[in-house]
Amino acid sequence: MKKKTTYAKDQERSITVNADPIELEKEKPRRKPKRKEDVRVTKADAIVGVALGFAGTRYRYGGTTRKGMDCSGLVYVSLLENNISFPRVSYQMANEGERIKLNQVQKGDLLFFKTSKRSKRINHVGLVVEVDGKDIKFIHSTTSRGVIVSSIKEGYWNGAFVKATHIL
């Protein structure tokens, strides 16, 4: 679109010039740089969201789909959907990240358990979905009920708990 500008020195004589409008660069509003903690919370929400999408999926050893899923498959897929590559099995997952105390756990952290009397190594993993005071809720896949959300306060899980890690 052309703009007409008229210049006049006196009333009798005027000059008209066709000109293109000058586009002024609008100064973009400056955003505060994202803090590491803000990015972590957003990523944790995304990972937990993927995991919760599998709620109700039946248990299948080695499974990673809606047809069936095991505990480490749930964590593996939830992380992979968010472009985080991670080991596939729980005892190897337990070697990743930063070990933390239970009272430092946040949404998106991992909880590790030993549920077998025969084996001394970690064989179960859960993803923290909510921390409410001393109650920690985590999503995992159980052989009896499939993908569910449980509480660390439940006697069985509290007794089987081994460690927690930050992975984000």
Catalytic residues: 71, 124, 140
Which helix (H) or strand (E) is 73 found in, with range? Answer: helix 71-80
The 10 Å CB-count burial string (b at 16+, else e) for 90-103 is bbebbeebeeeeee
The rounded radius of gyration (Å) of the Cα atoms in the chain is 28
Q: Give the residue from 93, 97, 43 showing the smallest Cα distance to 73.
A: 93
- Provide the 3-class DSSP secondary structure of residue 48: helix
- Provide the 3-class DSSP secondary structure of residue 79: helix
Beta-carbon count within 10 A of 76 CB: 22
Q: How far apart are the first and last CA of the chain?
A: 51
Contact predicate 127/78, CB 8 Å: yes
